[in-house]
């Protein structure tokens, strides 16, 4: 049985999708060992508790520096000893203290088609720039913010969606579908990190193409 931990800061809808995917076999042979939040008030913590998942809160405000927070986060996660660390709406910039401790074992989901729109307010940017399409990126985490090797991307045509809230809802649908599938392949070692890029088992090569969602 593989172990994963999920790091959140907010509403935790991706975390719930991951837990559901474990329960219904989309992610196989895996246990969600702990949901960790840096925000004590994160809505996702209550959802995790409701689902009977172990939770832990590590507030970044209790630490003087980013590095001190990361050192403690590394210690907490090493204690759990997971096979994979999943960032699911975890809104902290991680230092090399964290990324080097778990090289190749951290996934992130980002709500844009990277390298377009790293950072925040991605939906607003896509709308403001009249982009034809928008989407999500799942990637391995390195020290470079939103810059590690890309694993998979899902996209949609923005069309008549004119406000960021509606766009975010459509984007969430893609995230909830694609993230569990990718997590399943990574825990099974069918998708592997290398500093040169992502390595795909032949059964996973379709994830190298941008996947279109007709939502």
> Is 110 noted as a catalytic residue in this protein?
yes
113/50 Cα distance (integer angstroms)? 33
- The number of residues making up the chain comes to 215
C-beta atoms surrounding 187 within 10 Å: 21
Q: Minimal distance in Å, beta carbon 34 to ligand GAR? A: 16
Q: Which is nearer to ligand GAR, 14 or 161 (CB)?
A: 14
Q: Which of 50, 60, 110, 201 is an active site residue? A: 110
Q: Minimal distance in Å, beta carbon 202 to ligand GAR? A: 28
**Adjacent-strand bridge partners of 85:** 5, 106
Q: Which is nearer to ligand GAR, 122 or 198 (CB)?
A: 122
46/22 Cα distance (integer angstroms)? 19
Residue nearest to ligand GAR (CB): 89
Q: Which is nearer to ligand GAR, 93 or 199 (CB)?
A: 93
Residue 33 contacts residue 4 (beta carbons within 8 Å): yes
Reading the block at residue 100, the tokens are 């080097």
Reading the block at residue 213, the tokens are 């969602």
C-beta atoms surrounding 124 within 10 Å: 14
85/100 Cα distance (integer angstroms)? 13
Q: Minimal distance in Å, beta carbon 85 to ligand GAR? A: 14
Q: Which is nearer to ligand GAR, 77 or 167 (CB)?
A: 167
Reading the block at residue 203, the tokens are 């059964």
Contacting positions for ligand GAR (CB under 6 A):
8, 10-14, 44, 88-89, 109-111, 175
- Residues labelled catalytic: 110
């Amino acid at each position: 049985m593989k172990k994963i931990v999920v790091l959140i800061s907010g509403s935790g809808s991706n975390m719930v999708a991951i837990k559901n995917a474990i329960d219904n076999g989309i992610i196989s042979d895996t246990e969600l060992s702990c949901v960790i939040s840096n925000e004590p008030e994160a809505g996702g913590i209550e959802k995790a508790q409701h689902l009977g998942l172990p939770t832990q809160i590590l507030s970044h405000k209790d630490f003087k520096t980013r590095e001190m927070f990361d050192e403690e986060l590394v210690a907490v996660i090493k204690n759990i000893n997971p096979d994979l660390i999943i960032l699911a709406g975890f809104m902290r910039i991680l230092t090399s203290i964290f990324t080097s401790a778990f090289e190749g074992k951290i996934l992130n989901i980002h709500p844009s088609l990277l390298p377009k729109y790293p950072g925040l307010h991605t939906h607003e940017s896509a709308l403001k720039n009249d982009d034809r399409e928008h989407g999500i990126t799942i990637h391995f985490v390195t020290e470079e913010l939103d810059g590690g090797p890309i694993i998979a991307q899902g996209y949609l045509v923005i069309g008549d969606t004119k406000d960021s809230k509606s766009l975010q809802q459509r984007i969430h649908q893609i995230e909830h579908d694609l993230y569990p599938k990718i997590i399943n392949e990574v825990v099974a070692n069918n998708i592997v990190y290398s500093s040169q890029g992502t390595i795909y088992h032949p059964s996973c090569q379709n994830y190298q193409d941008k996947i279109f969602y007709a939502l």
